[in-house]
Amino acid sequence: MTRQRSLRALLLQLLLPSVAATLALGTYAAYRVAADPGTEAYDQSLLNTALALSERIRVQDGRVGFDLPSAAERVVRADKYDEIYYVVRGPAGERVAGDVGVPPPPEGIQAEEGVAAYDGDYEGRPVRVVAVQVPCGAQLCTVSMAETTVKRQRLARDILASSVLPQALLAAVTLGLVWFGVARGLRPLQDLSRDIGARSPHDLRPLDPGKSPAEARPLVESINHLLGEVTDANRNQQRFLANAAHQLRTPLAGLQAHAELALAQPVPEGCRAELEQVHGASVRTARLANQLLALARAEAGMNDAAGTARADLRQVIEAAADEWVHRSLERDIDLGFELEAARVRGDPLLLREALANLVHNALQYTPAGGRVTVRTRSGPAEVRVEVEDDGPGIAPAERERVLERFYRAPGTTGTGSGLGLAIVSEIASAHGARVAIGEGEGGRGCRVALVFPAGVN
């Protein structure tokens, strides 16, 4: 499976390493700029002391000597932090005076104007040594000054505290700004994604290119072009369904009427059975055509159904109750109503179609002698209309799928087409409502509710 790449991660991978490397380089440069002058100052101090000691070299009868009073030597060796060592060597490298263990200049070191500065070891301790060549008679002697590195280490720590730590803080702030800048730069894309994700499948309005940055506008324009093509395809599909259903209704109504007239005449029993089948098929096909028309109307009204129109669900039910009662009497089902004012935003015709489908399903699947109840409820948070029956019910695993078009749960009896609850779902979505399917009273049968948001005056 191909791993999805995050644009945020990609930008951070490109920016953070280069920013971190730049800051690290700047930190090192700042440290060296501050540390090198300090090191040079300490070396210069050793050089000055070595030059001062060189003035105490004496040459008599070809022999090199060194005359340094003990008080002066104590001054030379006095230091608050480090141990100071020195050695005076003759032209042949022999020790004339001072400490034996002061390391000589290593091989290959280049002295500049007779001065060499290098690191060494004195009795296992690291030391910094400055050696200077001075005239002693006709030849050159060497005076070497060495000191331990306590002051230099303290200087390095102070530089780290005063230079590197602020640089580290600057690095943290810079990296934070990079992170924030990437997040802020990607916000228009996140807003675009959120806008698209919040839409219903039927909301195909074009996106506003003015809300997107220039780099994202080609993407927005491509999406708008696609939305336009999908809108045209949906409109053509709705037009086809509506035209086909409309063209079928007239011949189906005629076929049904002729079948009813024929059944009213005395005909042989064999022909009567065939006529009853024709009549039943015409009734079912006519209902399917009516459902296709209702589905086309529901899809066409998706963007306008929950607009400024108002409807009282109690009045919608009362207007259709007579038709439902006659159908329930034909099936020997007790149809009851528990109604209270329930005002919602919506199209009364579409709402009536949705309720008619719920009642039709309840009457169709409830056995003779059963009960169906239609009720409305209005609360502070929601408005509900429910159709409850004591039929076989809908299994929990099937309650989502029965809202799909042309889907019928396994084992379902009757001659339905699987469009009724799909139409209810479409109309509910158009009104910002949801379909809730559960069990009836006492765990028997089925209760289907349309739940609308409250707040309609």
Residues 328 and 447 in one domain: yes
Whether residue 389 sits in one domain with residue 272: no
Using alpha carbons only, how large is the chain's radius of gyration in Å? 49
Print the domain residue range for 410: 306-457
Report DSSP letters for 214-238, one per residue: GGGHHHHHHHHHHHHHHHHHHHHHH
Residues 394 and 447 both lie in one domain: yes
Q: Which residues pair with 436 in a beta bridge?
A: 449
Higher pLDDT, 441 or 337: 337
Q: Are residues 311 and 456 in the same domain?
A: yes
Q: How many structural domains does the chain have? A: 3
Q: Please check whether residue 20 lies inside any domain of the structure.
A: no
pLDDT of residue 202: 64
Confidence of residue 417 (pLDDT cuts 50, 70, 90): low
Query: What CATH number did the domain enclosing 124 receive?
Result: 3.30.450
The domain boundary, picked from 266, 300, 334, lies at: 300
In a domain, 276, yes or no: yes
Q: Count H helices, E strands: the chain? A: 9, 14
pLDDT at residue 39, as a whole number: 80
319 and 457 housed in the same domain = yes
Give yes or no: residues 251 and 135 share one domain: no
- pLDDT at 267 (0 to 100): 76
Ordered strands of the 95-98 beta sheet: 95-98, 84-89, 139-148, 125-136, 115-122
The answer to whether 73 touches 79, Cβ cutoff 8 Å, is no
Q: What pLDDT is recorded for position 303?
A: 52
pLDDT at 372 exceeding the cut of 90:
yes
The proportion of the chain whose per-residue pLDDT surpasses 90, expressed as a percent, equals: 17
Cα 324 from Cα 363, distance rounded (Å) = 9
- Asked whether residue 424 falls in the same domain as residue 342, the answer is yes
pLDDT band at 389 (very low <50, low <70, confident <90, very high): very high
pLDDT in tens, 222-246: 888 888 888 787 777 767 766 766 6
Question: CA–CA separation, 105 vs 93, rounded Å?
Answer: 11
CATH of the domain at 285: 1.10.287.130
Per residue in 80-123, pLDDT tens? 889 999 999 998 888 999 998 899 888 877 778 889 999 999 98
Q: Which is higher by pLDDT, 161 or 400?
A: 400
Q: Is residue 126 part of a domain?
A: yes
Shared domain check, 350 and 281: no
CATH number (domain holding residue 397): 3.30.565.10
Residue 3 domain-assigned (yes or no) = no
The DSSP element (H or E) to which 88 belongs, if any, is: strand 84-89
Look at residues 284, 300, 316 and tell me which one is the last residue of a structural domain.
Answer: 300
Top-confidence residue, 426 or 286: 426
Per-residue pLDDT at 299: 60
Establish if 176 belongs to a structural domain.
no
pLDDT reading at 449 higher than 80: yes
**Residues 389-415: what's their mean pLDDT?**
78
Tell me: the pLDDT tens digits for 296-353? Answer: 666 655 555 555 578 899 999 999 899 899 889 988 999 999 999 888 888 888 888 8
The predicted structure's pLDDT at residue 31: 65
User: Per the domain annotation, does 346 fall within a domain?
Assistant: yes
Cα 447 from Cα 399, distance rounded (Å)? 11
CA dihedral over 381, 387, 393, 397, signed as positive or negative: negative
Last residue of a domain, one of 279, 300, 321: 300
For residues 457 and 454, what is the distance between their CA atoms, to the nearest angstrom?
9
The mean predicted confidence, pLDDT, of the chain is: 81
Judgement on whether residues 230 and 134 belong to the same structural domain of the protein = no
Would you say residue 344 lies in a domain? Answer: yes
pLDDT at 32: 66
Q: Is residue 234 part of a domain?
A: yes
Judge if 348 and 420 occupy the same domain. yes
Predicted pLDDT of residue 110: 75
pLDDT, position 139: 87
Residue 132 has pLDDT above 80, yes or no: yes
How long a stretch of residues is the chain? 457
User: Looking at residue 288, what is its pLDDT?
Assistant: 66
The predicted structure's pLDDT at residue 1: 45
Higher-confidence position of 35 and 335:
335
Judgement on whether residues 290 and 318 belong to the same structural domain of the protein: no
Would you say residue 192 has pLDDT above 50?
yes
Q: What is the mean pLDDT of residues 419-447?
A: 85
- The Cα–Cα gap between 208 and 116 comes to 74
Q: Rounded to an integer, what distance in angstroms lies between the CA atom of residue 120 and that of residue 36?
A: 18
Q: Do 455 and 325 share a structural domain?
A: yes
Say what the pLDDT of residue 193 is: 78
Query: Rounded to 10 degrees, what is the CA torsion of 246, 250, 256, 258?
Result: -170
